[in-house]
Structure 1
Amino acid sequence: MTRPLQLPLYAKLSLILVSLICFAFIFCIGKDIITPVLMAFLFSVLLLPVFTFLNTKLKFPRYLAAILCVILFASFIVGILLFISYEVTDMANDFATIKKNANTFLVDIHKFIKDNFNISIGEQKKYIDTVTKDSVKNGNATIGSAIISISDLLLDCTIIPIYTFLFLLYKDHFILFLVKLISKENHAALKNILSQIKVSINNYIVSLILEMIVVSVLTSLGLWIIGVKYFILLGLITGILNLIPYIGITAAGIITILASLTGSAETSVIISILIVNLIVQLIDNNILVPLIINSKVEINAFVSIMGIIIGGSAAGISGMFLAIPLLAILKIIFDRIESLEPWGYLMGNHMPKRFIWRIRKVNPQN
């Protein structure tokens, strides 16, 4: 029987570092291909209980069950988008009112800056004109980037359902590949890892949906109380954008402020909107996330933030969304492989009360 190769610590760390660099490099150069595949994998895991029910309980053929799952999921997404587009079209009828109130609000801001910072309105407009000219110079590049982003989004919307269908259809085929790849004595560990990955991803995505619903309801209720028009639409947009870490809630606040201009340009309304968003975020960050998200995905805050930042820099918004489930998958794998268990512990959310070094003194005479 061959003994496993024992490497010194510096060699292990070097191999881990080289592996991380290789994975990061491959992901960065192939993110346009890898990101839709990973998104489809998450959606297929979410739809797996429905697929199993249709295939085993109702005796639907595999391909038909997979198609129905994708159609149901796509219909749900399209229904939300149709509702938003209908409400946005209704809001567009108030564009003239929004423009008028926006101008009034900008004049109030100019006066506030002039009264409190002694900067004349002319100097303020001069600075705005300078910034606008700089923006116009980069306008062609911005428009080009926007066109590319829209084309990539349309491509993803087409290819992700196809990938999801194929993941569901060839589920057993992929599992058998992993079984053939791993030695027989490790099949029990592989089965445990796959089952835990399924449970973890399902729990995470369901928790995100639940968090989105609660944030949407709380925001809609708060906006309704302060008298903002289209409060249901704005609450739903806030809940959806809240799924995007850091950026989403800021964009939702800006959209809500602009939409509030359909009623009036009073500063008190805008301040009330900011207060509502702040209260909802405090509830979300201090109650919903620890109770709903962190209880399902046992990853500490430091690793989560680092993963979201790295995912955002590598693949934008999609990378930020994929960061947490990918970290959860890595933690599950690390926890069940003895040599990688310390890294799983590092990613975890364990809080030991206190650690005391216990070093046995050695008698030099012995």
Structure 2
Amino acid sequence: MDDTLKLPFYARLTLILVGLIASAFIFYIGQDILIPVMMSFLFAILLYPVVNFLKSKIHLPHVIAVMLAVILFVLVFVGLFVFLSFQVSDFVNDFDKIERNFYIHLENIQIFIRDNFHLSSRQQKEYIDSATEDSMQKGKEMIGTTLMSFTDTLMNLTLIPIYTFLILLYRTHFLLFLSKLIKKENHEQLKNILTNIRVAINSYIVGLIIETILISIMTTVGFMLIGLKYAVLLGVVTGILNLIPYIGILFAGLLSILASLTGSPDLSIIIGVIVITVVVQLIDNNVLVPLIVSSKVEINALVSIIGIIIGGSIAGVSGMFLALPIIAIMKVIFDRVESLQPWGYLMGDHLPKTYTWRKIKLPLFDSEERAETTEINVSKADVIVPTFTETTTENTPKRTDDTFPS
């Protein structure tokens, strides 16, 4: 007998929207707890191949393999932090030069405005003072907020390695828990969803790392060619800030322009910085992202932008970074649950057919065309499908690592 309750479309739509709103609200009020856990989940997926290598090739015990993988992960970030700290300390020593060159450019701008808009330097100063008077109090509040945010960041940096270690250590336990929540006849679908989530998130994170390295190299080489001081520091910072979608590159460009004032007040250096930043960004958006960062779960640009904006409004920079992985996980689930497949299709990037007009390919939107949702193809050689075993209190199965996707 089928006990499934059939609901009309508007009722199902209402329940879905209420669920999404409730999830967003819970994420908002519990972001201090959930963000480190979700970050750790992503890093655990990234580190699992390392753990698997240490266990299968070097034959280390599970606990030691997990511990070594997390320690290596922490050492990489500590080394990067130490490198940036030394570079930033040298950069701070040149702050007097930056201030002196800044005032030279400011004076040139004032002369240009005076000659073309007939505003004296005194009038310009009055406009600037009136515009900045109200922002002084906001600046003080912003400093206090920044200090609190910095304290929270330090706390998260301490918790993330601990959470990552525990997620990797108890991954079999968590998977068996999921198997007990789902009916036995749906275990195959659960295995498919978990496997594809792992593949999609892993490819996304590895793509981001490769993109960051390439952006850092291209920016560093470009800044070296124009003779910019601290080219390596600015290149690495640009690559890291580029991880923040859409706005990270703007902050990196402003920081690079500010750093260009450590050398000379020559305007050509600033123009060179702007040109290199724009060129690198064009290469990133049109070459690197489609070839490297494109996840196995394709998400269209509109959903990506909306998700990033919502993530930023809920949890700031961390929410913007987590937005795309969360959307990718949601799409994997939606594509494999029959009642949610239309939403998975809406989130996908299904390009229309094209036709040639004067040797130019243009999209062909056919009203009779019915696109199929994109499935993730995973070869059996790359994935070991997990096996779920029903357990009782009298006969508890031995936990092995074979119950998890490799």
The bucket for the TM-score relative to the shorter chain is over 0.9
The CA deviation at 1:209 is 0.8
RMSD after superposition:
1.5
Counterpart for residue 367 of structure 2: 356
Q: 1:277 to 1:124 in 2, by over 3 A?
A: same
Counterpart for residue 45 of structure 1: 45
Counterpart for residue 56 of structure 2: 56
Counterpart for residue 281 of structure 2: 281
- Distance in 1 between the 2:20 and 2:95 partners? 50
Secondary structure of 1:58 counterpart? coil
Secondary structure of 1:4 counterpart? coil
Counterpart for residue 109 of structure 1: 109
Q: Read off the aligned partner of 1:26 and give its amino acid letter.
A: I
Counterpart for residue 291 of structure 1: 291
- Give 1:173-184 correspondences, 5 Å limit: 173-184=173-184
- Distance in 2 between the 1:4 and 1:33 partners? 35
- Give 1:116-195 correspondences, 5 Å limit: 116-195=116-195
Are 1:204 and 1:297, in contact at CA under 8 Å, matched by a contact in 2? no
**Alignment coverage as a number of residue pairs:** 358
Counterpart for residue 239 of structure 2: 239
**Which deviates further from its counterpart, 258-267 or 95-104?**
95-104
Q: Read off the aligned partner of 1:189 and give its amino acid letter.
A: Q
- Distance in 2 between the 1:215 and 1:3 partners? 55
- Are residues 1:78 and 2:89 paired? no
String of CA shifts for 1:55-86, please: whole Å, max 9, x gaps. 33323222222221111111111111111111
- Distance in 2 between the 1:109 and 1:52 partners? 60
String of CA shifts for 1:175-220, please: whole Å, max 9, x gaps. 0100111111111111111111111111001100111111111111
The CA deviation at 1:246 is 2.1
Counterpart for residue 223 of structure 2: 223
- Distance in 2 between the 1:297 and 1:273 partners? 35
String of CA shifts for 1:267-326, please: whole Å, max 9, x gaps. 121111111111111111111112222354411111111110100101000000001111
Counterpart for residue 252 of structure 1: 252
Counterpart for residue 364 of structure 1: none
The CA deviation at 1:357 is 4.4
Structure 1's consecutive aligned runs of 4 or more residues displaced over 4 angstroms after TM superposition are none
- Distance in 2 between the 1:140 and 1:273 partners? 31
The alignment-based identity, stated in percent, is 58
Counterpart for residue 303 of structure 2: 303
- Distance in 2 between the 1:329 and 1:298 partners? 11
Are 1:213 and 1:239, in contact at CA under 8 Å, matched by a contact in 2? yes
Counterpart for residue 18 of structure 1: 18
Secondary structure of 2:97 counterpart? helix
String of CA shifts for 1:215-260, please: whole Å, max 9, x gaps. 1111111111111111111111101101111221111111111111
- Are residues 1:320 and 2:320 paired? yes
| 5+ long unaligned stretches in structure 2 | 354-364, 370-406
- Are residues 1:343 and 2:343 paired? yes
Q: 1:50 to 1:222 in 2, by over 3 A?
A: same
Are 2:212 and 2:240, in contact at CA under 8 Å, matched by a contact in 1? yes
The CA deviation at 1:338 is 1.2
- Distance in 1 between the 2:67 and 2:123 partners? 61
Q: 1:116 to 1:67 in 2, by over 3 A?
A: farther
Q: Read off the aligned partner of 1:97 and give its amino acid letter.
A: K
- Distance in 2 between the 1:27 and 1:269 partners? 44
Q: Read off the aligned partner of 1:59 and give its amino acid letter.
A: H
